[in-house]
Amino acid sequence: MSRFRLALFTGNYNHIQDGVSLTLNRLVRYLLDNDVEVLVFGPTIAEPALDHAGTLIPVPSIPAPGRPEYRVSVSFPKKTKKQLQEFNPDLIHIASPDILGYKAMKWALKHEKTVVSSYHTHFTSYLKYYRLSLLEPLLWRYLSWFYRNCRQLYVPTPSMVDVLNEKGIECDMKIWARGIETDRFSPGKRDEAWRQKQGFGSEDVVVTFVSRLVWEKNLKVYADVLKKLMQNYNHAKAMVVGDGPAGEELKAILPDAVYTGFLKGEELSRAYASSDVFFFPSDTETFGNVTLEAMASGLPCVVADAVGSKSLVQHEVNGFLAPAEKSDFFYTYIEKLITESEQRQKMGDASLEKAKEYSWGAINGKLLSFYEQILNQDS
């Protein structure tokens, strides 16, 4: 006998492997292992990137404008609504406030179902990269309405809660952090032979960026800083792990970096651990999964002083924080780590200790307790 039935709506579950899809798949596996019935609704493609957990009910979608690798759900068909009705969920979790999320919310309100949501993507921070900043007030008004209809909103960091409060979001917000597989990401995965194969010497300091290659990850700042560092220090090296639509243009701007392409599994673990500094100037993260992976790999982290990253990196303890637009600040901090090996080691050790606080079992167990808290109040 199951504990309860959960319907999960998301804009990405298996067609792209990113922080959202990986987080939600881990959650569904955890819930299924703990006797919760789950039905997932979202877009998909013929050959998805992930072998997804649980049962996925596909909904009609189109390629996202300007980002065709992503899908945009365009409707919630009668047939799909009937499947939801027959499943008769006790709780509806909407992870994406997109068209599908909006229609799921309307269905839930009509059928008097309890709705919760989770905040995975800081959509408003993306607008500036597409010259759409004028739309920000409109988007916040929609989000305010959407989250006001949720019993709880699960937010990855306290700093993100502060931002949402400042924007007038009225909802019972709970912290649902992200976890790390410490057996998978570890300094023990460092491989000197692999470094040599990439063209790095034993004395080189490898400054690594890991993410999808899209401009909203602040790639321009990474390229500007590393270009200057490599001009001034022969042993400073750049490594970019990932692929994406900005990849070719980035290679033209920063031709002397090592580009590994998309990596996963042991290859990704080895790339992190075989680096020396993690540099991630993105200010569009709600949490920063890649930063946590770098920390678990024993790396000092230089990141944007923005929501998400600043909850993981303590300035001058396990890395440095700088305003996202300040290339000169990032340069100074990374220069310190390139020239001072003892500080690099000390901060890397601090990163490793902090990463041990994040365990997926404990984090998803906390979310399950939030679900049950609501259901017990309603029973």
Q: Which domains does the chain have, with CATH numbers?
A: 5-179+359-378 (3.40.50.2000), 187-355 (3.40.50.2000)
Please give the single-letter amino acid code of residue 93.
Answer: H
State both tokens at 14. Answer: 């298996």
Which one, of 275, 247, 267, lies nearest residue 259 by Cα?
247
Q: How many CA atoms lie within 13 A of 280 on its CB side?
A: 31
Describe the strand order of the beta sheet including 236-241 as a list of residue ranges: 258-261, 236-241, 205-210, 277-280, 301-304, 319-322
State both tokens at 186. Answer: 């570890």
Burial code (b: 16+ CB inside 10 Å, e: under 16) for 127-166 equals eeeeeeeeeeeebbeebeebbeebbbbbbbbebbbebbee
CB 301 within 8 A of CB 313: yes
Claim: this prediction has a pTM higher than 0.85: no
Q: How far from the centroid of its chain's Cα atoms is residue 72's Cα?
A: 18
Q: How far apart (Å, rounded) are the C-alpha atoms in residues 343 and 371?
A: 43
3-class state of residue 320 by DSSP: strand
The tens-digit pLDDT sequence of the chain (379 residues) is 789 999 999 999 999 988 889 999 999 999 999 999 999 999 999 999 999 999 999 999 999 887 788 899 999 999 999 999 999 999 999 999 999 999 999 999 999 999 999 998 655 555 455 565 666 778 889 999 999 999 999 998 888 898 899 989 989 999 998 888 878 999 999 999 999 999 999 999 999 999 999 998 999 999 999 999 999 999 999 999 999 999 999 999 999 999 999 999 999 999 999 999 999 999 877 677 899 999 999 999 999 998 778 889 999 999 999 999 999 999 999 999 999 999 999 999 999 999 988 888 889 999 999 999 999 998 7
| Torsions phi, psi for 134 (to 5 deg) | -65, -20
